[in-house]
Amino acid sequence: MKLKRYVFGIFVICILSGIQDAVAGEKWRMILDLEGRWLFSIGDNSKWASPHYDDANWERIEVPSKWEDEGFYGYDGFAWYRKSFDGTLLKSKTDTYNLFLGYIDDVDEVYFNGHKIGSSGSFPPRYHTAFNALRNYYIPNVYINFGGKNVISVRVYDAEIEGGIVSGDVGIFVNDDDRGLAVNLRGSWDFSLSSKRYNDYHQEKFSSRTNRRPPEEANWIKLSVPGVWENQGYPNYDGSAWYRKQFTVPKELNGDDLILVLGKIDDIDEVYLNGKYVGSSTQHDKLRFYNISAGEIIPSAVNLLLVYVDDTGGLGGIYEGPLGLIKQSEFTRYVRWRD
Amino acid sequence: MKTVSIKKLLFVIFIFACAVDGWSQEKEKHTSVSGDWRFILGDNKKFAKPEFDDSDWEKIYVPSEWQREGFRHYHGYAWYRKKVTIDYDKNDALYLELGKIDDVDEVYLNGHFIGRTGGFPPDYFTAYNYNRRYHLPKEYINKGGKNVIAVRVYDEGGEGGIMGPNVGIYNYINFSENSMHLFGKWKFHLDDDLKWGAEHVDDSDWEDIIVPATWESQGFSNYDGFAWYRKSFVLPRSFQIEDMLIVLGKIDDLDEVYMNGKKIGSTGSMKRKWASDNEYDKYRTYAIPDELLKPGQTNVIAVRVYDQTGLGGIYEGPITLLPQSEYKEFWRSYRSQYYPNDFWEWLSYYFD
């Protein structure tokens, strides 16, 4: 218990010194405050993810707070939170919305109207805490009912001591940097560690640095992107890893040159789209922009984005947005005069 | 001790006088290209084409790093385009000066490639510290009409864009009637054969190449070693052939020059095949023996080049035949382009 408090103390210091979560470097605006009364039940049942489930007899609980302070002193294990809100409060259908849930102790999985929108940490049996990761989940607009009721369901697992949605801002946020993207690629990505170490990277032949493939036997797990992997189950990992994202794009992008915006990555990235090498960057504090020629993305099909990331030390991964696609013809104006 | 100080003072005054007199003057622009250009982020080869419609592109001031123009956090590809009216006289030799570009650039005039500095990804290397100067071949200029300059830029980090400070179209110098420019299309052959220095060689199946510009920028990427350049030109019947020089700009790395089959000069040692003394940065001027040039007839110049490593070829102008009597004026004009314009900058340069 003392150890955990000690770690938490260090983590607070890290936040104060601004290095904990680079997401803090982004400009978020709250659109809808979801702090206050939520519905709550201990236990675990996949039906509770459904928006149609009748939760009328659930307990009420204050969010954010430790459930220990809300009448569940001493409880460790699974529990679910549910909250509904009126979709007409989200006025713009073209904005992209993100659900912030603050800090959750220890592991969570989030559903929006029954659709899974992300998770942090890892549930038993391969348990990994993510108590120090700020929860920020992108909500695809197709899942949102702009005309009426929307239901958020959060499955939480607490291994020890305090549990629940414990602290931080809870609500729906927009990021002005996301406005203007034709496709938003924030959200849940596939992730797999690769065994290679950094020292190899610059010694590798150019041909292998443009022809890399994830191994067949790669073990893919879900990771919230952007967000450092240290906060999502790999606390001390330095080395390389693969990110994978499958996505579709709207038909109106057919025939357009596009720019792939890939946020900031710690440290080196190598990008492949539909099996073809796109480019590479090596600076951890640089926003990634890659040119995608018309035809390289197929609007009617599922496109596959693979990103090989090599972290030389410290925090690692795709750690800051924006992430997405924008028409090249609109890109210059999108970038100009942005801070 | 005191006398030494006075000598020093007099020396400084003398330097000052010289600087004010000649070298501090900025070279006169033939055509201005500074001001608003059209600008777009991203990369597409079609932006080089003169007919491409850039009317909905953003405007950006040139010269300036784009971070100052609203693109604070952007690193990557971008294109600049500008329409300019270019006119010239028979004896003009024009070049486009863009100053420093961070980090890599490639320039097109009316869709024709005229040069590149640095290396684009994936073979990236920066050239942020080089002054860009690209010869404008008359073959590509729309004389007296609209011309489109398109510049492809890649910035890896830090500042980006066409930084200047000097941008503009300049004339190398106004030469007299008894001079001749040899800019433009030459014949080019990789490899080495001393027979290619002769006056009569069938070079009709050789490659075309634009002089001056590195051969890497013209399709011979990563080539190091020997190559030959040849050009035939007809001198006017009235041409005075006494006391003539040929200026060949700068060559990377070593060269040997033949006029009508006779060797007239060289820089560096071809035998040792070793560039040891910054030969690539040396300015080539060779005297032509009086009996060699043939007025009213075809003359042939052949240049044997050895490139040790990196960029190669006859890469900077002027490329001109001129009389010895005009050389001093020419040299002064040339020098003023190379040395700092500001007196204090010049002074610190001098005392370094």
Residue with tokens 């018309």: A294
- The encoded tokens of residue A208 equal 């292998």
CATH number at residue A301: 2.60.120.260
Report if residue A7 sits inside a domain.
no
Domain contains A9? no
In this predicted structure, what is the pLDDT of residue A18?
A: 40
CA–CA separation, B171 and B174 (whole Å): 7
Q: Do B41 and A280 lie within an 8 Å CB cutoff?
A: no
Q: Does A287 touch chain B (CB under 8 A)?
A: yes
Could you tell me if A215 and A319 lie in one domain? yes
Q: Does B53 touch chain A (CB under 8 A)?
A: no
Backbone angles phi, psi at A55, to 5 degrees: -105, 20
Among residues A122, A153, A175, which one ends one of the domains?
A: A175
Q: Which long-range contacts (CB under 8 A, 24 or more apart) does B259-263 make?
A: B259/B288, B259/B292, B259/B293, B259/B299, B259/B300, B259/B301, B260/B199, B260/B292, B260/B293, B260/B294, B260/B299, B260/B300, B261/B197, B261/B198, B261/B199, B261/B200, B261/B300, B262/B289, B262/B292, B263/B197
Q: Are residues A314 and A293 in the same domain?
A: yes
Q: Are B74 and A210 an interchain contact pair (Cβ–Cβ within 8 Å)?
A: no
Query: How many beta carbons lie within 10 A of that of residue A126, not counting itself?
Result: 8
- Indicate yes or no: CB of B42 within 8 angstroms of CB of A332: yes
Question: Is the domain of A95 the same as that of A214?
Answer: no
Output the CA–CA distances (angstroms, integers) from residue B49 to B33, B153, B178, in the order listed: 18, 16, 37
In a domain, A1, yes or no: no
Contact A291 B75 (CB under 8 A): no
Furthest C-alpha separation in chain B: 71
pLDDT at A44: 97
Chain A residue nearest residue B41, CA to CA:
A332
The C-alpha atoms of residue B37 and residue B15 are separated, in whole angstroms, by 39
Residue A337: closest C-alpha in chain B:
B70
Q: How many domains are contained in chain A?
A: 2
Measure the CA–CA gap between B227 and A7, rounded to whole angstroms.
Answer: 67
Chain B, nearest residue to A283 by Cα: B157
- Residues of chain A in contact with residue B72, where contact means CB-CB under 8 angstroms, are 338-339
| A134: containing domain | 21-175
User: Which of A276, A332, A334, A337 has the most B C-beta neighbours within 10 Å, making it the best mutation to test the interface with B?
Assistant: A332
Query: Do residues A58 and A149 both lie within one domain?
Result: yes
Q: Does B158 touch chain A (CB under 8 A)?
A: no
Give bridge partners of residue B314 from the DSSP assignment: B251
Looking at the structure, do residues A164 and A203 belong to the same domain, yes or no? no
Q: Verify that A40 and A135 share a domain, yes or no.
A: yes
A213 and A127 inside one domain: no
Local structure of residue B275 (DSSP, 8 states): -
Q: Which of A280, A283, A331 sits opposite B41 (nearest CB)?
A: A331
Mutate to test the interface with B, among A289, A296, A329 (most CBs of B within 10 A): A289
| A129 shares its domain with A261 | no
Contacts of A210 in chain B (CB under 8 A): 122
Q: Do B42 and A279 touch (CB under 8 A)?
A: no
| Cα of B325 to nearest chain A Cα, Å | 53
- Average pLDDT value for chain A: 89
Q: Does A182 touch chain B (CB under 8 A)?
A: no
| CB contacts, 8 Å: A260 with chain B | none
The per-residue pLDDT for B46 is 95
Which of A140, A155, A175 terminates a domain? The answer is: A175
Please give the domain boundaries of chain B with CATH numbers for all domains.
35-171 (2.60.120.260), 180-332 (2.60.120.260)
What tokens were used for A260?
């792939």
Residue B58 in contact with partner chain A when CB distance is under 8 A: yes
CA distance A203 to chain B (A): 15
Question: Which pLDDT value is given to residue A197?
Answer: 62
Cβ contacts from A onto B, under 8 A: 56
CB–CB contact A210 B77 (8 Å): no
**A229 domain-assigned:** yes
Contacts of residue B41 in chain A, CB cutoff 8 Å?
259, 289, 328, 331-332, 335
Q: Determine, yes or no, domain membership for A5.
A: no
Same-domain pairing of A196 and A328: yes
* Cβ of residue B39 closer than 8 Å to a chain A Cβ: yes
Cβ A178 vs Cβ A96: under 8 Å: yes
Q: Are A255 and A122 in a shared domain?
A: no
Nearest to B58 among A210, A280, A332 (CB): A332
Domain boundary among A144, A175, A206: A175
Interface contact flag, B44 A337, Cβ < 8 Å: no
The predicted-structure confidence for B224-275, as pLDDT tens digits, reads as follows 999 999 999 999 999 999 999 999 999 999 999 999 999 999 999 888 888 8
Let me know the angle formed at the C-alpha of A5 by A3 and A7, rounded to the nearest 5 degrees.
70
Residue A271 falls inside a structural domain: yes
| Contact across the interface for A259 and B42, Cβ inside 8 Å | yes
Closest-CA distance, A27 to chain B, in angstroms, reads 15
Q: Does A37 touch chain B (CB under 8 A)?
A: no
B-chain residues near A337 (CB < 8 A): 70
Q: Are residues A187 and A299 in the same domain?
A: yes
Residues lower than pLDDT 70 in chain A: 1-25, 196-200
Say if A36 falls within a structural domain: yes
Sign, CA torsion A139/A145/A146/A150: negative
The total of other beta-carbon atoms located within 10 Å of residue A27's CB is 11
Would A283 be classed as within a structural domain? yes
Q: How far is A280 from chain B (nearest CA, A)?
A: 8
Which of B41, B71, B75 has the highest number of chain A CBs within 10 A, making it the mutation to test binding with A? Answer: B41
Q: Does one domain contain both A166 and A208?
A: no
In this prediction, the residues of chain B whose per-residue pLDDT falls under 50 are 1, 19-25, 340-342, 352
